[in-house]
Amino acid sequence: MKTFTLLLFLALVAQQRQSPQQPAPLDADHCRCSIEVTVKRAVTGEPIPNIELQLRAADTRTPSPDVPIYLQLQGTLLTVKTAASGRAEFRNLAEGSYTIVVRRQGDFFFEEPSSSVAQVSVYVGPREKPIQQLAFTMLTGGTVNGRILDSNRQPVRTAINAYQVEFQNGQRTLVASSTGEETNELGEYQLTHLHAGEYYIRTVSSLPQQNQTYYPGVFGPRSAVPVTVQEGQELSGIDFSIPANMGVTISGIIINTLSGSDTQPNGKLLHTLSSLYLVPRNTGLYFDFPQEIPNAAKQGGTGNGTEFPFEIQNVPPGSYDLYPLFLDTTIDTHVERHMSPTHIDVGTEDIRNIKPVIRKGTALTIRASRDGSASPPTTPFPEASMLGVNLIPKDSQPSQSFSGRNGFDISLKPSSWPSISELMEGGYFVSVRLSGFLPSDYVSDIRQGTRSVFDDGFVALSSDTTDSLEVIIRSGGGTIQGRINTNGQARRPSPVTVTLVPDPPRRQNLSLYKNATISPEGNGNFSFTGLAPGTYRVFAWENLPSGAEQNAEFMSEYETRGISVTISAGLNLTNIDIPLIHVH
Per residue in 400-417, pLDDT (tens digit) is 554 444 567 777 787 777
DSSP 8-state symbol, 402: S
Which segments of the chain have a pLDDT < 70?
Answer: 1-22, 58-77, 111-115, 179, 245, 260-271, 288-289, 295-304, 329-335, 372-379, 399-407, 464, 487-494, 520-522
pLDDT digits (tens, 9 = 90+) for 210-231: 778 999 998 888 889 999 998 8
Inter-CA distances, 272 with 161, 275, 362, 464, Å: 35, 9, 22, 20
| CA distance linking residue 475 with residue 530, whole number of Å | 8
Q: For CA atoms 238, 239, 243, 246, give the dihedral sign.
A: positive
Which amino acid is residue 425, in one-letter code? E
CB atoms within 10 A of CB 250: 22
DSSP string of 77-107?
A: EEEEE--TTSEEEEEEEPSEEEEEEEE-BTT
Q: Are strands 72-74 and 77-81 parallel, antiparallel or unpaired?
A: antiparallel
In whole angstroms, give the CA distance from residue 121 to residue 105: 21
**Quick one: pLDDT at residue 302?**
52
Q: What is the pLDDT of residue 522?
A: 66
Q: What is the pLDDT of residue 110?
A: 75
pLDDT tens digits for range 464-491: 678 888 999 999 999 999 988 876 665 5
Alpha carbons within 13 angstroms on the beta-carbon side of residue 164 total: 14
Q: Which pLDDT value is given to residue 189?
A: 95
**What's the pLDDT score for residue 75?**
40
What domains can be seen in the chain, in order of their start residue?
28-140 (2.60.40.10), 142-241 (2.60.40.1120), 254-354 (no CATH), 362-474 (2.60.40.1140), 478-582 (2.60.40.1120)
Distances (CA, A) of 324 to 18, 355, 411, 424, 540: 78, 11, 29, 12, 45
Q: Provide the 10 A C-beta neighbour count for residue 285.
A: 20
Beta-carbon contacts of residue 416 (< 8 Å; ≥ 6 apart): none
- The DSSP-derived string for 464-524 is T-EEEEEEEEES--EEEEEEEE-TT-SS-SS-EEEEEEEPTTSTT-GGG-EEEEE-TTS-S
Q: What is the CA radius of gyration of the chain?
A: 31
